[in-house]
Structure formats: C-alpha cells, structure tokens
C-alpha cells in the first residue's frame, strides 16, 4: 500500500505517568488499556519505566531516519516509509507501532502512519523541533557512556570521559559530524528558552544589556526588538563572533548591538546595567561559576542586575526535567550541575550578588535575578 487516508482526528487516549510540565513534548504517555497507572501494580509501572531505555532508542531511530519529515505531506504506509528510509519494512512497522502507542506517530489505519503533535517535534527546521536533540542523545558516542553510570556514582567523575578517554567537548571537536549535530541540538534547545526569557522579563528602564555567551544572538535580538530604547553587547568566544555579527546585521540591529569576542573567565565588556547568562552556568561547578559571575560583578554599573536563565530544581518529589538533566550533566560533563533556589542563593553570595527573585517563564527554565551588592 503506497498511500492511505487520514482520519479527521489526531487525538489519542493515554495516561501520563511522568509529566515534566504542561508542554506536551515533555510527557511520557502510556496506552489507555489495562496497564494504565490507575490499575497497574507498582511492578507494572516500573516495567513501563524500565522500557524507557528502549523507547528513547526508538525515538532516536525515528529522528535519525527522518520519518517525521517523510510524513509532513500526509500519512504513508510503512512499506513506502521503509523504501524511502532504507529500512526493513516489517521491522519499521513494529517500531512505528510501538512509538504510536506512546503518541509518537499514529497508526491511522492498518500499516499506515501519520504525524501527531509529538511526532511533529521530530521534523527538521520547524518551530519547537528537537530532532537534533533526539539524535544527539541516542547516538552511540553519547548513549554508551550512560551504561557506565555506576562509575560516575562510585567515583564522582564523568562516565563520558572514562568511556572515551577525553571530555565531551574535546570529543566533539575531533568528530565534526557529531559536533555539528550537538551544536544544532543545543541551539534548538536554548532558542526556545531564550524566546520565553525575553518575553518574561520587564526591561523597562534598562539602558544596556550584555548577553554573555549569547551564541548567535537569539536572546539579545529578542530583547532589543521588544525594547527599542535598549542597547546591547553580544559577548562570546572569538570563534563564534563572525557568525554572530552576521546574525545581528541580518536582524537590522547592528547600530544598537555591539559584538565582542573574549573569554568570560578572564574579563567582560564593562558598562552594562544588566548582564545575562542563559543556559551557561549549569555547565560549570560552583568555583568556576563564581569566577564568571565575579567578572560580571566587576564589569557592571553600581546596582546592576544579573539574570541567569536556568532550570531551577524544585524541592520535594515532584517530577521535573531539571532533575534528569542534572544526571545527564553528571555523566556526560566534567563539572556541570543543575541547581535549586538555595544553591543559586549561595552562588550569588559567593559572587557579590543578592538573589532577589526567581521568575518562571513559558519554557522549562526560569530567570534567576540578582542585584550587585
């Protein structure tokens, strides 16, 4: 069967056992059958959770094969998808059937699959795409070190470094294809946080914003476009600056935004009244983070403000993506960590700031505001 009809509804019935927040792409859905959480024993629920390992690899495979892109014009049979993706038809059908049971794709009629809202996030180049993230997290170089989690728990050291013999960023520099996908995955991830960050904070009365480690300027561009009276400085590594300058010019903001290269461990551009680090500090331990923040402290005007865009781990037992991402940082990185409000308060105290408030955004991240003291 080469083509198939698509029913009017994409809806699927499921029960959520692990809801990170209201964002549909951050939920794990189980089929609405006798294995639902309202009826299952703890053992059955645990089996479903253990199966998350298999599910994550199915998502990786679908992303790598570009299945969602193949379905952008409408549902197709598994046989046609197999031909287009170079896969074994029966095996692909079984994979898509399993993914559909979690709301990732939908079998709209026998042997015929279409997109769902979750599947759409695996498309390339669409708003909210996390295809590159799915590929990165499922790829062998990244995925295999997680089998060495006991090493990290027993030693406190990176399993990635133990497995590969080098740190993750050194590895990515040596493997350009993986590095490119990783960079694109991080860009997709932080871009969504940047946009929500700019919308959630009131920049009234601010004169100059310094975006530290701002990449190609997604955040600073959003801030400047929404606040015509504000000027900005985009600061990042010299190797990033060329692309950043082009991005700022293309946005028509070159006259209001200076692009500066350097090392945030050494010094930062001076004179800003707001310094922003979005999705930066979680990559460093407290000592290194405090070093970066002290440089912000030295560079900013009196009574300047520091804004960190980060995942703030809540207290208690509620599910939160930051708690799992913290494990990712522990295994894949060398010194990164996610932090609680109290952790940020201590970090600010170490760096010459007073934490004033935490502002939620429409993304998973929050804005941790501090003032210079």
Q: What is d(CA 72, CA 178) in angstroms, rounded to the nearest whole number?
A: 26
From the centroid of its chain, how far is CA 326?
A: 12
Asked about 297 being catalytic, the answer comes back as no
SS3 56: helix
* Inter-axis angle of helices 176-200 and 131-138, nearest 10: 130
Alpha carbon 55 to its chain centroid, in Å, reads: 19
- Give the Å distances, CA to CA, from 293 to 35, 120, 199, 276, 370: 49, 38, 24, 10, 11
Nearest to 157 by CA among 298, 39, 331: 331
DSSP 334: S
- Inter-residue contact 223 to 214 (CB < 8 Å): no
Provide the token pair at 278.
């979005």
Residue labelled with tokens 């860009």: 187
First-residue to last-residue Cα distance in the chain: 69
Please state whether 18 falls in left (phi above 0), alpha (psi between -120 and 50) or beta.
Answer: beta
Q: Helix (H, G, I), strand (E, B), or coil: what is residue 265?
A: coil
**Which residues are paired to 307 by β-bridges?**
276, 369
Distance CA(331)–CA(149), nearest Å, equals 7
Q: Is the CB of residue 275 less than 8 Å from the CB of residue 206? A: no
Cβ–Cβ contacts within 10 Å for residue 207, how many? 13
List, in order, residues 6 or more apart from 277 with CB less than 8 Å away: 212, 213, 292, 296, 306, 307, 308, 309
Q: How far apart are CA 34 and CA 362, in angstroms?
A: 34
Pick the catalytic residue from 194, 216, 282, 297.
282
What is the maximum span of the chain, computed from C-alpha positions, in angstroms? Answer: 70
Q: Catalytic residue numbers? A: 282
């Amino acid at each position: 069967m080469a083509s198939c009809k698509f029913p009017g509804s994409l809806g699927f019935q499921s029960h959520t056992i692990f809801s990170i927040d209201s964002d549909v792409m951050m939920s794990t859905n189980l089929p609405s059958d006798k294995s639902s959480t309202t009826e299952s024993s703890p053992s059955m629920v645990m089996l479903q959770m253990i199966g998350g390992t298999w599910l994550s690899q199915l998502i990786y495979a679908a992303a790598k094969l570009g299945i969602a892109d193949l379905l952008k014009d409408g549902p197709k049979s598994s046989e046609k998808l197999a031909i287009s993706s170079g896969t074994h038809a029966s095996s692909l059908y079984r994979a898509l059937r399993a993914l559909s049971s979690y709301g990732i794709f939908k079998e709209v009629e026998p042997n015929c699959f279409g997109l769902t809202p979750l599947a759409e996030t695996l498309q390339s180049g669409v708003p909210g795409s996390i295809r590159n993230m799915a590929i990165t997290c499922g790829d062998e170089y990244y995925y295999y070190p997680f089998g060495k989690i006991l090493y990290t728990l027993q030693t406190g050291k990176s399993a990635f470094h133990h497995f590969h013999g080098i740190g993750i960023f050194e590895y990515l520099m040596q493997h350009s294809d993986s590095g490119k996908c990783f960079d694109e995955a991080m860009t997709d991830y932080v871009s969504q946080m940047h946009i929500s960050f700019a919308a959630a904070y009131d920049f009234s009365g601010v004169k100059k914003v310094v975006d530290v480690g701002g990449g190609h300027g997604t955040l600073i561009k959003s801030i400047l476009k929404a606040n015509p009276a504000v000027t900005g400085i985009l600061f990042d590594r010299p190797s990033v600056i060329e692309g950043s300058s082009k991005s700022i010019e293309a946005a028509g903001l070159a006259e209001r935004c200076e692009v500066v290269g350097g090392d945030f461990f050494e010094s930062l551009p001076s004179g800003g009244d707001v310094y922003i680090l979005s999705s930066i500090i979680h990559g460093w331990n407290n000592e290194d983070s405090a070093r970066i923040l002290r440089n912000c402290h030295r560079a900013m005007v009196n009574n300047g403000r520091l804004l960190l865009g980060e995942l703030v781990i809540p207290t208690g037992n509620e599910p939160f993506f930051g708690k799992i991402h913290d494990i990712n940082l522990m295994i894949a990185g060398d010194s990164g960590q996610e932090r609680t409000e109290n952790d940020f308060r201590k970090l600010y105290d170490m760096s010459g700031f007073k934490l004033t408030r935490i502002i939620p955004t429409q993304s998973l991240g929050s804005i941790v505001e501090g003032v210079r003291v």
